[in-house]
Chains A and B, each alone.
Chain A
Amino acid sequence: MNSAELRARTIAAVRAHPSLTHCQFRARAILLLAGSVAVSLGIFFLAGGLRLGPRTESLLAMTMGGALAIALLSVLVGIHRKRSMLARPGWQLALLVASVPVALLVWKIAWSAHYPGMMVNWPARPGLRCFALTLALGIAPLVSLVSLYRHSEPLRPGLVGAAMGTVVAAVAWVLLELWCPVGYPRHLLIGHVAPGLLLALLGVILGRALMAMRNRR
Chain B
Amino acid sequence: MGTHQRALPTHPVAGTREILTDAAMARYADGDETAFAELYDGLAPLVIAYLRRRTSDRAMVEDLVQETFLRIHVHRGRYRRGAPVGPWACTIAARLLANRVRGTRRANVTSFDDGRVGERPAECSSPEQEAIAAELVERIEDEVQHLPDADREAFDLVRREGLPLNIAASRLSTTTAALKMRLFRIGGRLRRLNRADSDPGPSRGKKP
Contact = CB atoms under 8 A, between A and B. Distances in A.
A1 B62 CA distance: 8
Contacts of A17: 70, 73-74
Contact of A21 (B2, B29, B85, B94): B29
B67 A21 contact: no
A83 B75 contact: no
Interface stretch (A7-15, A45-53, A170-178): A7-15
Contacts of B111: none
A178 B103 CA distance: 49
A68 B103 CA distance: 44
Contacts of B87: 84-86
Interface residues of B, number: 41
Nearest to A80: B80
A13 B66 contact: yes
A20 B30 CA distance: 9
Contacts of B191: none
Contacts of A6: 44, 62, 65-66
B70 A152 contact: no
B160 interface: no
Interface in A11-59: 11, 13-14, 17, 19-26
A83 B83 contact: yes
Main secondary structure of the interface of A (DSSP, over half): loop
A125 to B, nearest CB: 43
Contacts of B30: 21-23
Main secondary structure of the interface of B (DSSP, over half): helix
A86 B37 contact: no
Contacts, number: 110
A85 B95 contact: no
Contact of A83 (B31, B44, B82, B100): B82
Interface string B72-110: 011111111011110110011011100110010000000
Interface residue range, chain A: 35 or more
A84 B80 contact: yes
Contact of A154 (B41, B79, B94): B94
A85 B65 contact: no
Contact of A86 (B1, B62, B77, B100): B1
A89 interface: yes
Contacts of B83: 81, 83-85
A83 B40 CA distance: 21
B155 interface: no
Contact of A19 (B1, B73, B84, B99): B73
A87 B1 CA distance: 8
B91 A11 contact: no
B88 A152 contact: no
Contact of B91 (A89, A155, A215): A155
Contact of B67 (A7, A22, A148, A216): A216
A214 B99 contact: yes
Interface of B: 1-2, 4, 29-31, 36-37, 40-41, 44, 48, 62, 65-67, 69-71, 73-80, 82-85, 87-88, 91-92, 94-96, 99-100, 103
Given A23-B77, A85-B80, 8 more contacts: A11-B37, A14-B70, A20-B77, A84-B80, A84-B83, A87-B1, A148-B78, A216-B70
